[in-house]
Amino acid sequence: MKKVLVRISCLLLVLSMLFTIAACGKTEGTSTSDNQSPGSETTGQTTPKAAKKKVAVAMPTQSSQRWIQDGDNMKKQLEALGYEVDLQYAEDDVQVQVSQIENMITSGANCLVIASIDSTALVNVLEQAKQNGIPVIAYDRLLMDTDAVSYYATFDNEGVGRIVGEYIEEKMKLATAKEEGRTYNIEFFMGSPDDNNAVFFDRGVHKVLDKYLESGVLVCRSGQTDFSQTNTLRWSQEAAQKRCEDILSGFYADGHHLDIVASVFDGLSYGCAAALLGAGYTPGDGWPLITGQDAEIMAVKNIINGTQTMSIFKDTRVLAEKCVKMVQAVLEGSEPEINDTTTYHNNVKVVPSYLCTPVPVDKDNYKEVLIDSGYYTEDQLK
Ligand code: BGC
């Protein structure tokens, strides 16, 4: 009897050891295919909790509203999947961004998501990430001159420029202007030369409007049509205002009227609107058509009160969602959604990308696009 009891207890011991081994194995193998979020417990009290994977998100600046929303959406969506998030803003200072990324690497980030300030300035620090086996995803702005980038989540950047051009073409009825003897004065306010996106925006705008400059339907009195003349370093509102003031006093003071401001960022549009007010233009009849980008709350308010004509809405919720899929892909071995494998060559390789769709907004559709979709509340736009 004693022998039988000893045998039974040995058997129970072996069985319980086997069970523990199997359970431990399951914890190590945790993956998205097990439907477990990273870091979640899988085996109750006896198993140690797996460390959460850390995703570091480097954003360029909090001075413009869109990046705050990008950061918030990324943080929210990554945390919902169980990742730890280290979100940092560099306030448009390239050196600050470099040291933030260095710190992210040394403090054990498992993945880096980067919206750069200067697309070409991060080559060395990205090499460091690569040496440490940390995957990198480019967010909104492509990371140039490096092979240390796995994926790119962005919007159709040339499409943004094209929409701006097509909006001007349609609203000013440029297609029939020549035969009807109409011409318009236009000035261009483009993006930062160190942001790869700015080149795409400029290309899109000119693909639509150049034929009207050539035919004389559009007249750029300053003669500044080339990106080398129309760019705005670091997307500075103040620099755009100053350039617009100089253009107005230099080329429009003798009774010429500026009809169109082709701007590719709401911040630049605010600067131009201030310059126009200063030069004696008044909102209402004779106020130029002013474009923009980002559909910031301030820009939408200006669209409602008539001092800006349109903007481009980029849904940062969707961009974050696509980027988070890329994070999962590099960390968990799943498949991200990619819809472009040709456009974004960063001088070293083509970076597989997902391009989200930009949407034009003006006073006719802002309610439907921005309020009905839950992006803004009616109160925020009052
Ligand atoms: C973004 C735009 C933004 C601009 C200024 C670009 O890289 O794509 O949406 O307006 O930066 O922040």
> Is there an atom of ligand 1 within 6 Å of 92 CB?
no
Average pLDDT for 271-276: 98
Of 36 and 179, the one with more pLDDT: 179
> Is there an atom of ligand 1 within 6 Å of 197 CB?
yes
- Percent of the chain residues topping a pLDDT of 90: 86
- Pocket mutation for ligand 1, best pick of 59, 64, 66 (most atoms within 8 Å of C-beta): 66
CATH code 3.40.50.2300 region(s) in the chain:
54-149+315-356, 157-314
- Pocket mutation for ligand 1, best pick of 59, 69, 118, 140 (most atoms within 8 Å of C-beta): 140
Helix/strand/coil percentages in the chain, nearest 5: 45, 15, 40
The ligand 1 atom nearest the CA atom of 61: 12
Pairing of strands 136-139, 111-114: parallel
Single-letter residue type at 142: L
Cα radius of gyration (the chain): 27
> Is there an atom of ligand 1 within 6 Å of 162 CB?
no
Q: How many C-beta atoms surround the C-beta of residue 336 within 10 A?
A: 19
Q: Which CATH superfamily is domain 157-314 in?
A: Response regulator (3.40.50.2300)
Residue 7 confidence (pLDDT): 55
Residue 292 confidence (pLDDT): 98
Q: How many A from CA of 280 to the centre of ligand 1?
A: 30
* Own/partner pairs, 98-107, CB within 8 angstroms, 24+ separation: 98/122, 98/124, 98/125, 100/58, 101/56, 101/58, 101/125, 101/126, 101/129, 102/128, 104/56, 104/58, 105/129, 105/132, 105/134, 107/54
Which residues lie across from 89 on neighbouring strands? 59
- Mean pLDDT score across all residues of the chain: 90
> Is there an atom of ligand 1 within 6 Å of 195 CB?
yes
Q: Which of 369, 319, 331 is nearest to 59 (CA)?
A: 319
Q: Compute the distance between CA of residue 166 and CA of residue 182 in angstroms, rounded to an integer.
A: 18
> Is there an atom of ligand 1 within 6 Å of 294 CB?
yes
Residue 51 confidence (pLDDT): 79
Q: Could you read off the pLDDT of 349-376 as tens digits, one per residue?
A: 999 999 999 999 999 999 999 999 999 9
Which residues lie across from 340 on neighbouring strands? 353
Of all protein residues, the one whose alpha carbon is nearest to atom 3 of ligand 1 is 265
> Is there an atom of ligand 1 within 6 Å of 202 CB?
no
The ligand 1 atom nearest the CA atom of 141: 7
Of all protein residues, the one whose alpha carbon is nearest to atom 9 of ligand 1 is 294
Residue 49 confidence (pLDDT): 61
Q: How many A from CA of 264 to the centre of ligand 1?
A: 8
- Percent of the chain residues topping a pLDDT of 70: 87
Q: How many A from CA of 266 to the centre of ligand 1?
A: 9
Per-residue pLDDT for 29 more than 80?
no
Q: How many A from CA of 265 to the centre of ligand 1?
A: 7
> Is there an atom of ligand 1 within 6 Å of 234 CB?
no
Of all protein residues, the one whose alpha carbon is nearest to atom 6 of ligand 1 is 197
pLDDT band for position 238 (cuts 50, 70, 90)? very high
pLDDT band for position 145 (cuts 50, 70, 90)? very high
Per-residue pLDDT for 222 more than 60?
yes
Angle at the Cα of 228 from the Cα atoms of 61 and 239, rounded to 5 degrees: 45
Residue 223 confidence (pLDDT): 98
pLDDT band for position 129 (cuts 50, 70, 90)? very high
Per-residue pLDDT for 43 more than 50?
no
Give residue 360's Cα distance to chain centre: 16
Q: Could you read off the pLDDT of 82-94 as tens digits, one per residue?
A: 999 999 999 999 9
pLDDT band for position 34 (cuts 50, 70, 90)? very low
| Architecture per CATH, 54-149+315-356 | 3-Layer(aba) Sandwich (3.40)
